[in-house]
Amino acid sequence: MPFDHAFVDHDAPSLTLIDASGTRYHFPGPQVRICNDFNRHLREHGTRDGFLLGIPGGYNDLAELWNADENVSHRFAGYDADTDTVTIRGSILPAALIDEIDPPAVAPAPTLVAAEPQFTPHQTETISRMLWVSAEREARFHEARGAARNKKVDDRKRKRDEHRASDAAASGSGKKTRPVERDGGRAEDAVAGGSKSKSSKKAKPSTSHQDEPMQEDADAEGEPEKPEDELIGYTDDEEQEMSKAEGKKRAGGSKRA
């Protein structure tokens, strides 16, 4: 035991005290613990009255052998059973020292109870099969998607190579190329003089008001501009014809009325 005491055999499995003649006295750990509890009771109450267990066996022998070492500060109180007299010297043995002499029993580990299976063997096998089927379906999906992606990349590469070869052949034959608009806004080079794209349509003349000034300018180029206040001259025959037409128009209007 690690504590310092001149008359304790530290190699013994239990508390062993040696008297002046060399006689060895063994005290089991639980007995030392009960004697120290009686020691505390005597110090606190000054009598044995009230200690339910009575005087522990071997208390006076343990107190005499332990207190024989004058250098020990922790002691047992002396007790005279005939006169119920208590003699206190030193301090009570601390709980840590008692735990070294009588180590506390280790609580047993709780018994592990096997948990009941959550599924029956048939359910477990069914779930396992379902998981494998799901995993295989997922793997096939990823494989198919990868193959489709690779095919798309290969098709794009093949078409790009064909266009480049066509452009190279057209450039080698000396034919000029022109951009042809495709659906989606992309243009590709086509040999000049080839067939026109179906999507190309003849542009219709614009009828918006924005084009009117341009048409007026074009007409103005062919004939000189006339002043707005210039009088137009008519012959006598023209004036007569105009009068007849005006008269017919009025007659027609009166009939309708």
Count how many domains the chain has.
1
Asked if the structure places residue 48 within a domain, the reply is: yes
Asked if the structure places residue 19 within a domain, the reply is: yes
Average of pLDDT values for 188-207? 45
Tell me: pLDDT of 4 over 60. yes
pLDDT score at 196: 45
Tell me: pLDDT of 223 over 70. no
Asked if the structure places residue 78 within a domain, the reply is: yes
pLDDT score at 114: 78
Containing structural domain, residue 96: 15-101
Tell me: pLDDT of 13 over 70. yes
Asked if the structure places residue 142 within a domain, the reply is: no
Average of pLDDT values for 14-34? 92
Tens of pLDDT, residues 106-159: 888 888 887 788 888 888 889 999 999 999 999 999 999 999 999 999 999 999
The mean pLDDT of the chain is 77
- Please indicate, yes or no, whether the overall pTM of this predicted structure exceeds 0.85: no
Q: How confident is the model at residue 32 (pLDDT cuts 50, 70, 90)?
A: very high
Tell me: pLDDT of 249 over 90. no
Asked if the structure places residue 172 within a domain, the reply is: no
Asked if the structure places residue 38 within a domain, the reply is: yes
Asked if the structure places residue 24 within a domain, the reply is: yes
pLDDT score at 200: 45
Tell me: pLDDT of 188 over 80. no
pLDDT score at 34: 92
Asked if the structure places residue 145 within a domain, the reply is: no
Tell me: pLDDT of 238 over 80. no
Three-state SS string across the chain, please?
A: CCCCCCCECCCCCCEEEECCCCCEEEECHHHHHHHHHHHHHHHHHCCCCCCCCCCCCCHHHHHHHHCCCCCCCECCCEEECCCCEEECCCECCCHHHHHHHCCCCCCCCCCCCCCCCCCCHHHHHHHHHHHHHHHHHHHHHHHHHHHHHHHHHHHHHHHHHHHHHHHHHHHHHCCCEEEEECCCCCEEEEECCCCCCCCCCCCCCCCCHHHHHHHHHHHHHHCCCCCCCCCCCCCHHHHHHHHHHHHHHHHHHHHHC
pLDDT score at 111: 84
Tens of pLDDT, residues 75-102: 999 999 888 889 998 899 999 999 988 8
Rounded CA gap, 3 and 9, in Å?
11
